Structure 1
Amino acid sequence: MNNLNLLFRRRIGIQEYEVITFEKLDKVLEKTAKAIPFENLCIMENRSTEITKERIMSKILEQNEGGLCYELNAILYLFLKENNFSSTLIRAVVYDHMKQQWSVTGNTHVANLLTFDGQVYLVDTGFGGNLPLKPVPLNGKTVESKTGEFRVVQTDSEHGDYILYMKLKHKDEDWKIGYAFRSNEGFHDITNLNEVQKIIIEHPGSAFNKKPLITKITDKGNIILTDSSFTEWKDGKMIKEEIDEKRFSKLRKGYFNL
Structure 2
Amino acid sequence: MRTEINKRFRQRINMPEDEPVDFDSLPRLLEKTAAAFPFENLTLLRGSLQPVTRDHLTNKILNNKEGGLCYELNPLLYFFLVQNGFNATLVRGETYNNESQQWNKLGRTHAAILLMHEDDFYLVDTGFGANLPLEPVPLNGETISSRNGDFRVTAFDSEYGDYILEMKLKHKDKDWKIGYGFDSRRPLTKVSEEMNEIQNIIKEHKDSPFNKTPLITQLTDNGNITLTDTSLTRRIYGTSQKQNVTREDFLELAQEYFGLQV
**TM-score, with normalisation over the residues of structure 1?**
0.98
C-alpha distance in 2, partners of 1:188/1:86?
14
Number of the residue aligned with 1:39:
40
Letter of the structure 1 residue corresponding to residue 240 of structure 2: M
Letter of the structure 2 residue corresponding to residue 175 of structure 1: W
Number of the residue aligned with 1:27:
28
Number of the residue aligned with 1:49:
50
Number of the residue aligned with 1:17:
18
Please state how far the C-alpha of 1:33 moved relative to its aligned partner. Answer: 0.5
SS at match of 2:130: helix
C-alpha distance in 2, partners of 1:4/1:215?
24
Number of the residue aligned with 1:185:
186
Number of the residue aligned with 1:257:
259
C-alpha distance in 1, partners of 2:165/2:105?
18
C-alpha distance in 2, partners of 1:28/1:124?
12
After superposition, give the CA deviation of every residue in 1:87-135 in whole Å (9 maximum; x if it has no partner).
Answer: 0000011001233210121110000000000110000000000000000
C-alpha distance in 1, partners of 2:73/2:189?
15
**TM-score, with normalisation over the residues of structure 2?**
0.97
Letter of the structure 1 residue corresponding to residue 251 of structure 2: S
Q: Does 1:116 align with 2:117?
A: yes
Ranges in structure 2 where 5+ consecutive residues have no aligned partner: none
Alignment of 1:43-122 (within 5 A): 43-122=44-123
Letter of the structure 2 residue corresponding to residue 62 of structure 1: N
SS at match of 2:207: coil
One of 211, 229, 235 as aligned partner of 2:213: 211
C-alpha distance in 1, partners of 2:240/2:35?
18
Q: Does 1:196 align with 2:210?
A: no
Please state how far the C-alpha of 1:48 moved relative to its aligned partner. Answer: 1.0
One of 226, 235, 239 as aligned partner of 1:224: 226
Number of the residue aligned with 1:127:
128
C-alpha distance in 2, partners of 1:98/1:66?
27
SS at match of 1:201: helix
Count of matched residue positions in the alignment of Structure 1 and Structure 2: 258
C-alpha distance in 1, partners of 2:49/2:12?
21
SS at match of 2:108: coil
Residue range with higher mean Cα deviation, 183-192 or 88-97: 183-192
C-alpha distance in 2, partners of 1:209/1:98?
21
C-alpha distance in 2, partners of 1:119/1:239?
41
Identity %: 51
After superposition, give the CA deviation of every residue in 1:198-229 in whole Å (9 maximum; x if it has no partner).
Answer: 00000000000010000111111110000000
Alignment of 1:103-182 (within 5 A): 103-182=104-183
Please state how far the C-alpha of 1:7 moved relative to its aligned partner. Answer: 0.2
Please state how far the C-alpha of 1:188 moved relative to its aligned partner. Answer: 3.8
Q: Is the CA contact 1:90–1:113 (under 8 Å) kept in the aligned structure 2?
A: yes
Letter of the structure 1 residue corresponding to residue 212 of structure 2: K
Number of the residue aligned with 2:250:
248
